[in-house]
């Protein structure tokens, strides 16, 4: 098996702030309860280009001294049947999702073993770790990605990471690099390739990135300007087979706004499960007014939107 094959089978891509420990209880401890993600839609319903397949609120209670809080990255390990979630507090939670039929109905902490590939924000870098927190090695970044001056600030560096069969590791900063023209966002491969795509709007941030079964990329973006204005999260698809120069066509998959009946929180990570089904997780910032949510959905349309979004996003 070559290096790329090894990464595809056992290399798990996650973005987080820090990794220093791991929480792996011997027996699963249930921490998830069903959560109403939408006021008007239930599991099984189709919205835009996704089918909702359940949502959980994860308990903030500590188990063996750790809790599922500040989760900012996800990765599914098919071999171990474990959903890895990296906490900003510095540990890796091993989750075992439970389903009733196709719907996500629970999850618990469990034990597992694999290699984790972690994108760290500041200084920007990619490193490999064992699930127990043991450091393995660094992956080489292009000079412009390793250069701190390429970023607006230390909060805007590498915030999303995935592996692509044709391009290797691909990363996205939370905000476009300082040299990116207005109206665009950028993604960057560790082999030196770099591309632009139309930004959601001039105030959007990129938070998650995942490779789809057909080689396209699924991007998680957010529009947030203040506590008193609507917050919108968007799932968007980058068509990697139709790149024009360095411009990637982008299409909308789903938009969620708290002013349109969606019980959203601080979503920061996505991971493909099986087929075209995905998990999405929120970071509660250890705040009493926020929640750790785990959302499960399926992308059901490749050729257009099933339903128009409730919120127009073409304003700065």
Closest CA to 162 of 7, 43, 57: 7
Whether residue 315 lies inside any domain: the answer is: no
In-domain check, residue 80: yes
Count of other CB atoms within 10 angstroms of residue 29: 16
DSSP structure class, residue 248: -
Number of independent structural domains in the chain: 1
Is 307 a domain residue? no
Dihedral (Cα; 138, 158, 258, 89), 10-degree rounding: 40
| Residue 29 structure tokens | 């401890």
Tokens representing 196?
Answer: 């632009």
Q: Count Cβ neighbours within 10 Å for each residue of 62-93 and write b for 16 or more, e otherwise.
A: ebeebbbbbbbbbbbbeebebbbbbbbbbbbb
Residue 311 located in a structural domain: no
DSSP character at residue 199: -
In a domain, 306, yes or no: no
* Strands 168-173 and 184-189, sheet pairing: antiparallel
Confidence of residue 14 (pLDDT cuts 50, 70, 90): very low
Q: What share of the chain is helix, strand, coil (3-state, %, to 5)?
A: 5, 50, 45
3-state secondary structure (DSSP) of residue 146 = helix
Euclidean distance between CA atoms 197 and 192, whole angstroms: 17
Range of the domain at 181: 3-299
- Give domain status of residue 313, yes or no: no
Residues in the chain: 316
Mean pLDDT on 137-154: 85
**pLDDT, tens digit (0-9, with 9 covering 90-100), for 35-53:** 999 999 999 999 999 999 9
On whether residue 304 sits in a domain, the answer given is: no
What are the backbone angles phi and psi of residue 260, rounded to the nearest 5°? Answer: -125, 25
| pLDDT range class, residue 135, cuts 50, 70, 90 | confident
Q: What is the spatial distance between Cα 223 and Cα 147, in angstroms, rounded to a whole number?
A: 26
Q: Is 215 left (phi over 0), alpha (psi -120 to 50) or beta?
A: left
**Mean pLDDT throughout 83-91?**
78
- The predicted structure's pLDDT at residue 109: 58
Q: Write out pLDDT tens, residues 92-117.
A: 788 889 999 898 877 775 544 567 78
Cβ count within 10 A of residue 108: 17
| pLDDT score at 94 | 82
Task: Answer yes or no: is 123 within a domain.
Answer: yes
CA-closest candidate to residue 195, choices 267, 249, 158: 249
Round the average pLDDT of the chain to a whole number and report it.
Answer: 81
**The pLDDT of residue 27:** 57
Q: What is the pLDDT of residue 188?
A: 93
**Mean pLDDT across the stretch 121-134?**
77
CA-nearest of 121, 211, 204, 130 to 168 is 211
The pTM is what? 0.85
Q: Kindly report the CATH number assigned to the domain that includes residue 127.
A: 2.120.10
């Amino acid at each position: 098996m070559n290096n790329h094959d090894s990464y595809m089978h056992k290399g798990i891509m996650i973005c987080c702030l820090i990794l220093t420990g791991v929480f792996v209880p011997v027996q699963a401890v249930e921490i998830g309860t069903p959560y109403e993600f939408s006021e008007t839609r239930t599991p099984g319903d189709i919205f835009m280009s996704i089918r909702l397949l359940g949502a959980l609120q994860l308990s903030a209670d500590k188990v063996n001294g750790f809790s599922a809080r500040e989760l900012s990255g996800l990765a599914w390990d098919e071999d171990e049947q474990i959903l890895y979630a990296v906490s900003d507090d510095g540990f890796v939670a091993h989750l075992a999702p439970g389903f009733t039929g196709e719907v996500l109905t629970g999850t618990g902490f469990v034990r597992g073993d694999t290699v984790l590939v972690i994108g760290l924000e500041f200084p920007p870098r990619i490193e490999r770790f064992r699930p127990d927190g043991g450091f393995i090695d660094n992956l080489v970044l292009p000079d412009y990605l390793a250069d701190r001056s390429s970023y607006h600030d230390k909060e805007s560096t590498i915030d999303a990471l995935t592996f692509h069969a044709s391009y290797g590791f691909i990363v996205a900063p939370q905000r476009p690099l300082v040299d990116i023209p207005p109206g665009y966002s950028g993604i960057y491969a560790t082999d030196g390739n770099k591309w632009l795509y139309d930004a959601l709007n001039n105030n959007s941030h990129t938070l998650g990135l995942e490779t789809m079964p057909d080689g396209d990329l699924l991007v998680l973006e957010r529009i947030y300007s203040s506590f008193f204005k609507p917050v919108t999260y968007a799932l968007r698809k980058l068509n990697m087979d139709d790149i024009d120069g360095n411009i990637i066509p982008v299409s909308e998959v789903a938009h969620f706004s708290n002013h349109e009946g969606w019980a959203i929180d601080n979503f920061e990570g996505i991971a493909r499960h099986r087929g075209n089904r995905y998990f999405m997780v929120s970071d509660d910032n250890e705040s009493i007014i926020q929640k750790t949510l785990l959302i499960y959905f399926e992308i059901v349309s490749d050729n257009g939107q099933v339903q128009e979004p409730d919120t127009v996003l073409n304003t700065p």
